[in-house]
């Protein structure tokens, strides 16, 4: 009886925590629901270097109070992201894609697509 009660409490405690041991933390470049997550905070992309697979989507989320952009050095400007906003881009080809914030050019990042 005592073991059953302890087991039940453990299950309830784990369920209340949400997520699972395999869930990546926000701001990591591990896939979440098929997308790679990149945060923007303190005038920096986090992670600065992300890795994605061909066909995978990268989502940038702005956690700063000021707007930022995702502007690829050799490609499109995805536009401006306000506080709490997101931008997404799906990569159709392998390669290394450097980008920056056109408002704050010292903010730089890369996405390596395999």
Q: Report which secondary-structure segment, H or E, holds 44.
A: strand 44-46
**Do the domain assignments include residue 68?**
yes
In a domain, 3, yes or no: no
Does 97 reside within a domain?
Answer: yes
Q: Are strands 35-41 and 44-46 parallel, antiparallel or unpaired?
A: antiparallel
18 in any annotated domain: no
Q: Tell me how far apart the alpha carbons of residues 100 and 108 are, in angstroms, rounded to a whole number.
A: 4
Could you list the residue range(s) of the whole structural domain that residue 79 is in?
24-113
Would you say residue 96 lies in a domain? yes
Position 40 in a domain: yes
pLDDT tens-digit readout, 27-46 = 434 444 489 999 999 999 99
Tell me the per-residue pLDDT of 61-83, one tens digit each, with 9 for 90 and over.
Answer: 999 999 999 999 998 999 999 99
pLDDT above 70: percentage of residues in the chain = 71
Total tally of structural domains belonging to the chain: 1
Tell whether 19 is covered by a domain.
Answer: no
Tokens 């890795």, residue located: 51
């Amino acid at each position: 009886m005592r073991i059953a009660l302890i087991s039940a409490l453990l299950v309830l405690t784990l369920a209340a925590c949400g997520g699972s041991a395999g869930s990546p933390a926000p701001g990591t470049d591990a896939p979440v629901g098929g997308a790679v997550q990149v945060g923007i905070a303190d005038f920096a992309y986090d992670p600065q270097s992300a890795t994605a697979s061909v066909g995978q989507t990268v989502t940038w989320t702005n956690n700063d109070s000021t707007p930022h952009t995702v502007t690829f050095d050799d490609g499109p400007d995805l536009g401006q992201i306000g506080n709490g906003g997101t931008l997404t881009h799906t990569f159709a080809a392998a390669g290394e894609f450097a980008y920056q914030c056109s408002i704050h050019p010292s903010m730089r990042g890369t996405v390596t697509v395999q």
